[in-house]
Amino acid sequence: MTGTPDEPTKTGAETYAADAVPAEAGKRRIRNITELARIAGVSPGTVSRALAGKSLVNPQTRERIQAIAREHGFRPNQMASKLRMQRTGVIGVVIPLGHDSRQHISDPFFMSLFGYLADELTESGHDIMLSRVIPGDVEWLDRIVDSGMLDGALLIGQSDQTDVIDRVADHYLPLVVWGTSRPEHRHCSVGSDNRAGGRLAAERLIAQGKRRLAFFGDPRAPEIADRLAGARDAVDGASGATLEVVPTTLSSDDLADQIAANFSKVDRAVDGIVAASDVIAMTTLRILHERGAQVPQEIAVIGFDDLPLATRTVPQLTTIRQDIAGGAKAMVASLMQRIAGVDTPSTVMQPELVIRESA
């Protein structure tokens, strides 16, 4: 049994079959609470209470039942329990925007936020379900939310789905979204003041004497649009400063090529770059290095997010910090309140400039 035929990159598959099942404790497997009840000579209800550690049941009986359960390796079926309890303990985490989900899932920012969310949720005893987003489906969110599988849902980013989100939020309370907060939104969001952040970034470059700025990012996403608006605010307030927008998507695969292409366009006319994210900034940094440009002397680069990665670049990245951990905490706190029925307000966090070496 070696080697399946034509698999990518798979070489010399070896076999260590898992036969020879040992012992199995001799006990027959118990399938459900009723069987266990029969064995223990009590009713299913009592077993349920005993296993849940309820105080209503006689300590001796409880211990006996738990012993039997342990001995047979029995654990009550969660699906049935959840159905009955109407509470699943599962929170859905979703990235909107269907096409090419991989790109998004492995995006460092998403991962970072996701990690913190996972922390918070695990801490509060919840499980996390990464839900399937069917590309091009208008009802993606309804499907997730109405499935009856979730106690609540967390969206990472609004993408261009604000209308869908608002519609669902109108009748589904336990929903919290990472993103930009706008007066017209009807859903609860948590995020940074992106416009202020964009302004901070551009102001830093201007303060460093840079005048011909470029913005690398895709303004179709609301957050990015706000960051751009902020940068423009700053530029408009400084005499002689200009800002050129260079659309740059977030997808990381061809990002390097895109940015390289950007430089063919803007070339050395530019002396300061506001990147819409740290990932963009990092890649920009590398390309500048390849082209032999001195950072920050010839061109300064400023990022957005302050991911852990930002300290690992050469030169280390000057960036606009978003408190991702705090944001995750706020999202989960809001969600918990909403699960309890409270209609919580949105949260806007103030970003701050973190000065390192690149600008």
- By C-beta, is 55 or 239 nearer to DNA? 55
Question: Which of helix, strand or coil describes residue 151?
Answer: coil
Owner of token pair 């951990």? 325
Which listed residue (202, 346, 358, 359) binds a second copy by CB under 8 A?
Answer: 346
Contacting DNA within 27-66 (CB under 7 A): 31-34, 41-46, 48-49, 51-52, 55-59, 61-62
CA 212 to chain centre: 34
Contact 279, 314 (CB under 8 A): no
Question: Which of helix, strand or coil describes residue 122?
Answer: helix
Q: Rounded to whole angstroms, how far apart are CA atoms 19 and 30?
A: 22
Which listed residue (51, 188, 213, 243) binds a second copy by CB under 8 A?
Answer: 188
Contacting DNA within 59-98 (CB under 7 A): 59, 61-62, 76-77, 80-81, 83-86
CB of 39 to DNA, least distance (A): 12
CB of 63 to DNA, least distance (A): 10
Does residue 183 bind a second copy (CB under 8 A)? yes
Binding site partner of 56, from DNA, a second copy, none, Cβ cut-off 5-8 A by kind? DNA
> Which positions from 54 to 83 touch a second copy by CB under 8 A, shown as an x/- string?
-------------------xxx-xxxx-xx
Does residue 90 bind a second copy (CB under 8 A)? yes
Q: Rounded to whole angstroms, how far apart are CA atoms 338 and 102?
A: 30
By CB atoms closer than 10 A (0-12, 13-18, 19+), residue 329 is: middle
Question: Which of helix, strand or coil describes residue 175?
Answer: strand
Does residue 358 bind a second copy (CB under 8 A)? no
* 73 phi-psi bin (left φ>0, alpha ψ -120 to 50, beta other): left
> Which positions from 133 to 162 touch DNA by CB under 7 A, shown as an x/- string?
---------------x--------------
Q: Rounded to whole angstroms, how far apart are CA atoms 143 and 132?
A: 10
Residues that bind DNA (CB under 7 A): 31-34, 41-46, 48-49, 51-52, 55-59, 61-62, 76-77, 80-81, 83-86, 148
